A and B are shown apart, each in its own frame.
Chain A
């Protein structure tokens, strides 16, 4: 079982806003930043959000991240069909001395 907890699935219609949650503990999200990855079918993960809420160059501003306490969230506004993918959260864990990931959320665009 994954150290960080995400809902296994989420869905929305084009143009809608969806939010994916990520829950952890004091040893990971509570004391370190969250990063989010997007994995399109059959491809490697791609960094989508880093340092809780920063977008790498080239990532549309439809994607945003937030963190509060031991939880975080990824928001996608103006949902598009190409956003259909798996999304993973990640954080450093001080107790495990390594990075930990969420189990992933499969986003379906209806």
Chain B
């Protein structure tokens, strides 16, 4: 089974700064099958990015995804107050594992 490892575990940044979140797969995966979600306390996850780089409907363009092979990145260009949350990457092919999450907190 493919394992997804996210780093860092916690990212402490100020509003307006750029956030870069990493998701590394234990084996090469297709870009098609990599997604990113945001989860705020007490809420269900929200799909942000699918196919490694395509934004879901209604997702602001400050969110972008990139990467290929085993290394994928979620970038938030300028953090807004509502962006402080936990972010998960997920594979959704034959394996549908999640990464362990990165918490983006206010510095």
Say whether A associates with B: no
